[in-house]
Amino acid sequence: MSKKWLRFELDDGRVGFGTLGDGDVVHEHAGNMFDQPAPTGLRYDLARLKLLTPTQPTKVIAMWNNFHALAAKLNLADPPEPLYLMKAPNSWLPAGQTIRRPRCEGKVVFEGELGIVIGKTASGVTVEDALDHVFGYTCANDVTVADILNRDASFTQWDRAKGFDTFCPMGPVVATGLDPASLTVTTTLNGELRQNYPISDMRFSVQRLVSLISQDLTLYPGDVILCGTSVGVGSMIPDSLVEVAIEGIGRLSNRFV
């Protein structure tokens, strides 16, 4: 059974978590989101809550060249293993909050993506066991200053280009019980559809990503793997509204100023 989990802050500053039910009612839980959370019986109207990032990851890992369609457009070869980078903690941003333009010059682009949320510590797991370590899925926007990437011919600046403050919006929820291969990512910019692509087009499936990355890094509950993006990436101008939507998860909306 699918559930939608979220984290929130109340008016008094208390942080909580729970599930999103019918009528946008949030059912608070206590304990550990990933290990037998217990309902408290308290309920809140979603509109009255300040949303937080759906988990508190120790790291966010972002893929490059993981979709056949984009690789064909850019004439990229099939990588033998996942190609990834890290998004810095200062870049994590909840749904509804503002993506801030960095102080440097350059074209800022959106990349709508599916995020895999780890639910159980994973180290050296097999492909067959990988999904046992996945808690659920979220929407993400892997924001990038494209001009910075190859500004220095001697060094591709992936972490800087993607690590600015507010450059990793995630949320609004983590949805459990979904088949990732059936999902489609859409991204709109000021209401205009810019991306519409199936997760089934990934080079490395969710199972393979979790398994292969766990050979390198221990993945902890709450960690997020961004699956990479496909065709339709574009630039944002100030006061743009970018929305990443995935059926079964919801819509991640953030304004760029």
List, for residues 123-132, the tens digit of each pLDDT value.
999 999 999 9
List alpha helices for 57-198, DSSP H: 68-74, 158-162
Write out the two tokens for 88.
């810095």
State the greatest distance between any 2 C-alpha atoms of the chain, in Å, as a whole number. 58
Q: What is the CA radius of gyration of the chain?
A: 18
The answer to whether 141 and 111 are in contact (CB under 8 A) is yes
Q: Per-residue confidence at 4, pLDDT binned at 50, 70, 90?
A: very high
Q: What is the pLDDT of residues 22-51, one digit of tens each?
A: 999 999 999 999 999 999 999 999 999 999
On the CB side of 78, CA atoms within 13 Å amount to 6
pLDDT of 207 over the 80 cut: yes
Q: Which residues contact 164 (CB under 8 A, 6 or more apart)?
A: 90, 91, 100, 102, 143, 145
Q: By CB neighbour count within 10 A (0-12 exposed, 13-18 middle, 19+ buried), where does 47 fall?
A: exposed
Q: What does the mean pLDDT of the chain come to?
A: 97
In this prediction, residues 49-71 reach a mean pLDDT of 98
Angle at the Cα of 67 from the Cα atoms of 196 and 86, rounded to 5 degrees: 105
Distance CA 115, CA 252 (A): 12
The answer to whether 182 and 80 are in contact (CB under 8 A) is no
Q: Per-residue confidence at 190, pLDDT binned at 50, 70, 90?
A: very high
Distance CA 107, CA 147 (A): 6
Q: What is the pLDDT of residues 76-117, one digit of tens each?
A: 999 999 999 999 999 999 999 999 999 998 999 999 999 999
Write out the two tokens for 196.
């519409």
In this prediction, residues 19-23 reach a mean pLDDT of 96
Q: What is the pLDDT of residues 159-177, one digit of tens each?
A: 999 999 999 999 999 999 9
Q: What is the pLDDT of residues 117-153, one digit of tens each?
A: 999 999 999 999 999 999 999 999 999 999 999 999 9
pLDDT at 1: 75
Q: By C-alpha distance, which of 190, 192, 179 is closest to 246?
A: 179
Distance CA 56, CA 74 (A): 34
Domains defined along the chain, listed by start? 1-52 (2.30.30.370), 55-256 (3.90.850.10)
Distance CA 196, CA 83 (A): 23
Amino acid making up residue 28: E
